[in-house]
Chain A
Amino acid sequence: MLIIKTNVMKISTKQMLAILLGISWVIFVGVCIEAGGFICNAFFTLVLNPVGARHFWQEVNLSNLYWYNHGCFFAETLLICIVAVMRAYLFYLIIKILHNKKLDMLQPFNPEVERFILNISRVSLLIGLVSWIGATYTFWLVKQGVAMPDLQHLRLAGADVWLFMGVTLFVIGQIFKRGVEIQTENDLTI
């Protein structure tokens, strides 16, 4: 008889959260650099030198928009910057809760987690809304004859996904709210 021994590697929740914290830090640094780059380039282009519009960010060339109308350029970059900053804030919230170790698996329904879920749902909804406005505005600019980069490059794509995520998290947040009430009641049942 052949006996095969298998060593199944188990990853505990604690390890998984540590890995997620590491990944979140990497993404957070990335989105912070991106948001900072957008803000600096927008400021540089509008205040110091219009050449910044040509090399706005990686493949993004907004020189056509800048020469079409400075106000439109300001509005477009403002929307891009808001989305970028909100994305950075979203990852800041994730890092904050993972770093402070507020995810208590023994008592998962605590007010801290409830607040966290409702906060990220609000931020996701806001990102979705601003992205949608940005995408609509970009389409309008294209209709006016302005050559615009792809929405993916402008970081304004995926508004529907953000909105879906926001609504889903909001529902989960409401369930958590009730969960906190039930857990508090259970804790105070002698």
Chain B
Amino acid sequence: MPIIVNLDVMMAKRKISLNDLSEKVGLTLSNLSILKTGKAKAIRFSTLDAICKVLDCQPADILEYKAEE
């Protein structure tokens, strides 16, 4: 898929662990892991809102579009 999830990059920048993020965002670890590994098919606005709030970033910092060659 040409949409890339850069959640791990933002987490590294904010020095936050997956456990902490899961607790603060209110998502299960397995769901967060699905999102981080790029297996997710879709993301809710509410989830994106919560993640951006906790990581203090913009949606574009988490999601990136790369055209397939």
Contact = CB atoms under 8 A, between A and B. Distances in A.
A185 B47 CA distance: 16
A188 interface: yes
B39 A189 contact: no
> Interface size bucket, A side?
under 10
A190 interface: yes
Contacts of B41: 184-185, 188-189
A189 B35 CA distance: 9
Interface residues of B, number: 12
Contacts, number: 23
A187 to B, nearest CB: 8
Interface in A136-190: 184-185, 188-190
B39 A188 contact: yes
Interface in B25-69: 27, 31-32, 34-35, 39-44, 47
Contacts of A188: 34, 39-42
Contacts of A189: 40-44
A62 B32 CA distance: 69
A178 to B, nearest CB: 15
B38 to A, nearest CB: 11
A35 B34 CA distance: 50
A128 to B, nearest CB: 38
Nearest to B27: A190
A185 B39 CA distance: 11
Contacts of B27: 190
Nearest to B35: A190
Nearest to A189: B42
A135 B40 CA distance: 53
A189 B27 CA distance: 12
A39 B20 CA distance: 67
Nearest to A188: B41
Contacts of B32: 190
Contacts of A184: 41
A184 B34 CA distance: 13
3 nearest A-B pairs in the assembled complex, by CB-CB distance: A188-B41, A189-B42, A190-B35
